[in-house]
């Protein structure tokens, strides 16, 4: 059973930065997963914003965060990160990390990721 635990949320002013972390455990094979960050703002649908294949390759970014956010994982493949720069009030949301065993999708409809963290709140004030 894959478990995901996020940390690093908080409050920041417009233009500020935050780095989210997601500790991943319980992999059967750490090279065979999609890892992604989703977010959900109040009264809005959950949206996928960034993802990568744990085996490596080009990350995917939604247009809303491309150029401002960076997704990465550590060499041990047990921690996923989301570096968020130039934060805006519209980035305010609960942020979730998620994982799914291959085959899986980055972007588009994203499919139905099986494993989810509990979420962390990010609040950006103007």
3-state secondary structure of 17: coil
How many whole angstroms separate alpha carbon 72 and alpha carbon 3? 18
pLDDT number for residue 29: 87
pLDDT number for residue 27: 84
How many whole angstroms separate alpha carbon 111 and alpha carbon 104? 7
Distances (CA, A) of 82 to 28, 75, 85, 103: 23, 15, 10, 23
Supply the DSSP symbol for 68: T
pLDDT number for residue 28: 82
Q: Give pLDDT tens digits along the chain (126 positions).
A: 899 999 999 999 999 999 999 999 998 888 899 999 999 999 999 999 999 999 999 999 999 999 999 999 999 999 999 999 999 999 999 999 999 999 999 998 898 999 999 999 999 999
């Amino acid at each position: 059973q894959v478990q995901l635990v996020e940390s690093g949320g908080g409050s920041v002013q417009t233009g500020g930065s935050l780095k989210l972390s997601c500790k991943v455990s319980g992999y059967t094979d750490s090279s065979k997963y999609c890892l992604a960050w989703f977010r959900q703002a109040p009264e809005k649908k959950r949206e996928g914003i960034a993802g990568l294949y744990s085996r490596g390759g080009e990350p995917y970014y939604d247009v809303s965060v491309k150029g401002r956010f960076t997704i990465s994982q550590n060499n041990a493949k047990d921690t996923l990160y989301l570096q968020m720069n130039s934060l805006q009030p519209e980035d305010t949301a609960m942020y979730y990390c998620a994982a799914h065993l291959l085959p899986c999708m980055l972007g588009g409809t994203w499919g139905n990721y099986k494993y989810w963290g509990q979420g962390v709140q990010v609040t950006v004030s103007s």
